[in-house]
Amino acid sequence: MRLPIVAANWKMHKTPAEAAEFAQALVAPLLPFEGVERVICPPFIAIPAVAEALRGTPIKVGAQNVHQEPQGAYTGCISVPMLQGLVEYVIVGHSEVRQYLCETDAMINAKAKAILAGGLKPIIAVGESLAQREAGETVAFVGAQVRAALEGIPAEALPSIVIAYEPIWAIGTGRNASPEDANQTIKVAVRDVIAALYGEATAQQVRIQYGGSVKPENMADYMRMPEIDGALVGGASLKLNDFVALVRLAQEAKSG
Ligand code: 13P
């Protein structure tokens, strides 16, 4: 049984003070849901404040990106050693970073390796564009993203890796993938690809999230799908009651 994981990707929202206040307010309502791993990914500048607010609680902190080198002349970047002790998870390969910051599959692979080497856990985001979907390329494209991200990563590391399947056309659009469709893509383009690379037993240990316009109204339908082990949530994670509801719905669906 895989522990469900619901992660809040706050993207470029909240100042450090706002983030700390929100994180503090989340603690009590999120505490009862021990059957779900709960992760908050604030902007870099708010990570210390959120880590402080969540210290001693079971709620984890994640970063939204990282540079693959431990240090160097990389203006504006943050490295794994800088995040150690503050976060447990790091999102890499988010479609917004791939698109706006020109992050490549090779960079995502290097970042995933650096995150694992530093004792942290990558949440590797993959997903197709609307044009790719309409051209029938979803499975080939997402499968290739998964293969590229995992290149050279040993099987022992796989249980520490989370994959987030986020179809680009569903992010922030209100147009979510149907639960059956997301489940099927996760199965054939992610879990089966991992099974082909590492074997079925290893593939069964990897947690795979869905992301893209997840909200309380559709969460239960996703969480009832056998291949979907949680959600990576943008907009709805910025509303306290909504995010708490998402975690509750994950716990109810997966324990029921
Ligand atoms: P929305 O939940 O706002 O669609 O964003 C999804 C996402 O990109 C999470 O990483």
> Residue 170 domain-assigned?
yes
Q: Are 114 and 68 in contact (CB under 8 A)?
A: yes
What pLDDT does residue 30 have? 98
> Residue 96 domain-assigned?
yes
Q: Across the strands, what pairs with 125?
A: 164
Residue 175: pLDDT above 90? Answer: no
Give the ligand 1 atom nearest the CA of 125. Answer: 10
pTM above threshold 0.75: yes
What pLDDT does residue 174 have? 86
The bridge status of strand 37-41 relative to strand 60-63 is: parallel
Q: Name the residue range of residue 81's domain.
A: 39-255
Contacts 24+ apart (CB under 8 A), 45-49: 45/16, 46/10, 46/14, 46/15, 46/16, 46/18, 46/19, 46/20, 47/83, 47/86, 47/87, 48/16, 48/86, 49/16, 49/17, 49/19, 49/20, 49/23
What pLDDT does residue 135 have? 96
Q: Across the strands, what pairs with 230?
A: 5
Q: Give the residue among 188, 112, 123, 105 at the shortest CA–CA distance from 154.
A: 112
Give the mutation target among 233, 237, 239, 243 for probing the ligand 1 site: most ligand atoms within 8 A of CB. Answer: 233
> Residue 212 domain-assigned?
yes
> Residue 47 domain-assigned?
yes
Ligand 1 centroid distance, CA of 173 (Å) = 9
Integer CA distances (angstroms), 74 to 7, 65, 69, 112, 116, in order? 28, 14, 9, 18, 21
Query: Residues with catalytic annotation?
Result: 94, 166
What pLDDT does residue 58 have? 98
Q: CA-CA distance, 119 to 137, in Å (whole number)?
A: 35
The string of pLDDT tens digits covering residues 55-110 is 999 999 999 999 999 999 999 999 999 999 999 999 999 999 999 999 999 999 99
> Residue 246 domain-assigned?
yes
Give the ligand 1 atom nearest the CA of 236. Answer: 2
Give the ligand 1 atom nearest the CA of 96. Answer: 8
CA 209, 210, 213, 215 torsion-angle sign:
negative
What pLDDT does residue 1 have? 83
The string of pLDDT tens digits covering residues 216-250 is 999 999 999 999 999 999 999 999 999 999 999 99
Indicate which CATH number applies to the domain containing 97: 3.20.20.70
91 contacts: CB under 8 Å, gap ≥ 6: 7, 9, 41, 62, 63, 64, 65, 122, 123, 125, 164, 232
> Residue 183 domain-assigned?
yes
Task: State the average pLDDT over residues 176-202.
Answer: 97
- The number of distinct structural domains making up the chain is 1
Ligand 1 centroid distance, CA of 3 (Å) = 21
Residue in the structure block whose two tokens are 């607010």: 53
Q: Give the residue among 138, 133, 125 at the shortest CA–CA distance from 97.
A: 125
The string of pLDDT tens digits covering residues 142-154 is 999 999 999 999 9
Ligand 1 centroid distance, CA of 117 (Å) = 27
> Residue 214 domain-assigned?
yes
Q: CA-CA distance, 250 to 255, in Å (whole number)?
A: 8
